[in-house]
Amino acid sequence: MPSITIDTEYDKNLLEKIKSRIGGEIEKKEWGEHVLTFDNEYGNGIIKTIDFDSGVSLIDYDVTFSEETILIFKRQESNPLVFFYITEGNLEYCCDDDGEQLKLNQFQNIIINNKKYSHTSLKFKTGLHVKVNFIQVGREDYLKLKDNSEHCITKRFIPIVKNSESKFVYSHLGNYNLEIAQQIKKISEIHGKGIIKALSLEAQVNLVLAMQLLDHENFVNQIHLPKSISIHDIKKINKLTEFIEENISEPLPVSDLVTESGLSAKKMQAGFNALYSKSVNVYIREKKLDIARDMLKETDDSVSEIVYNIGFKSRSYFSKIFFERFGILPTAYRKKLHEGQE
């Protein structure tokens, strides 16, 4: 069983230490982004790290290990607040302060904080594909920037961040939230170079952090998913959203979605309302419009071609709902894009 010990989660050589145990290649990109890629007898995957000036950092794992692998973190002076979100698979987390093992589940909002000088570990199971994001908030750096604007931060977040001398382990295993999964997916879709990419990444990471804080607040205020919606149902709905995106050019009637998901129409609608605060039909319409907006920007397809590609039959109906969502007609939007390039 490979075991990799890392002096602290802020260790600048984190990827180097992982590489020394499992091999691979590290690519150093602009603005502090580092990427470890490996494909060998230990497994395969990509691990990315990036630090931001705000005291926030991101570690992203997309890995499959060929045998059980444990990462051991030995904290020193720092004890950052860590926001976990798993979009694929699951993990086991353990802190030596109490020896308790926590199972971290897919799609669950998780926040963990440990004492200084503690040891923690993450266990990756054999052959299990795991995609997990860690957003770490360093107390001192973060509060230096936020001291004059604490009203912008969740009231329940400030005591957690300020309590750097805490004698207890804080762990929050909260609600299951698919909206966070969609925003995390957008992190990997950010392209570009230089400061534009760096600012886009930081903005998206802060958005995910805000969503996890809001979900934490909802959990504390006992705003939970209906008991009728199980984790199994949530996974089915997540698969269904992938099906919708892959078949966006189709009409996608509710009857077909019921068949595809294996959920009843009532449970499917309840799931979308609970997880996305909208009906399945509204979800599909907004997804089609978002894709149409991107196609107007990124392709040379005519408006009529785009209408066809997203599964609408009426150009006038498309223009109407596009205006309702974005406040501008599709033709005017494209014209403004072209004007901006001149």
Tens digit of each residue's pLDDT (9 = 90 or more) over 76-105:
666 778 899 999 999 998 876 556 788 899
pLDDT at 157: 55
Residue 111 CA from chain centroid, whole number = 14
pLDDT at 214: 86
pLDDT at 147: 52
Contacts by residues 274-282 (CB-CB < 8 Å, ≥ 24 positions apart): 274/225, 274/226, 274/229, 275/176, 275/177, 275/178, 275/179, 275/225, 275/229, 275/234, 275/237, 276/178, 276/179, 280/254, 281/254
Instruction: Report yes or no: 49 and 15 within 8 Å, Cβ to Cβ.
Output: yes
The domain defined by 231-341 carries CATH number 1.10.10.60:
yes
The structure tokens listed for 304 are 């009529």
The domain covering 3-220 belongs, at the CATH homologous superfamily level, to Jelly Rolls (2.60.120.10)
**Buried-state track 40-56, b at ≥16 Cβ within 10 A, e below 16:** eebbebbbbbbbbebbb
Instruction: Report yes or no: 290 and 252 within 8 Å, Cβ to Cβ.
Output: no
How far apart are the C-alpha atoms of 17 and 19, rounded to whole Å? 5
How far apart are the C-alpha atoms of 7 and 57, rounded to whole Å? 17
With a cut of 60, say whether residue 168 has pLDDT above it: no
What is the length of the chain?
A: 342
Q: For residue 225, which of 261, 185, 179 has the smallest C-alpha distance?
A: 179
Span 230-251, pLDDT tens digits: 999 999 999 999 999 999 999 9
With a cut of 50, say whether residue 148 has pLDDT above it: no
Span 115-146, pLDDT tens digits: 777 778 899 999 999 999 999 887 666 666 65
pLDDT at 332: 95
With a cut of 50, say whether residue 294 has pLDDT above it: yes
Instruction: Report yes or no: 175 and 219 within 8 Å, Cβ to Cβ.
Output: yes
Residue 255 CB: number of other CB atoms within 10 A?
9
- The domains of the chain are located at 3-220, 231-341
The structure tokens listed for 179 are 């909206």
End-to-end CA distance of the chain: 58
How far apart are the C-alpha atoms of 83 and 111, rounded to whole Å? 5
With a cut of 70, say whether residue 263 has pLDDT above it: yes
* Burial (Cβ within 10 Å: 0-12, 13-18, ≥19) of residue 25: exposed
Residues 171-191 have a mean pLDDT of: 88
Instruction: Report yes or no: 39 and 19 within 8 Å, Cβ to Cβ.
Output: no
Tell me, yes or no, if the pTM score tops 0.85.
no
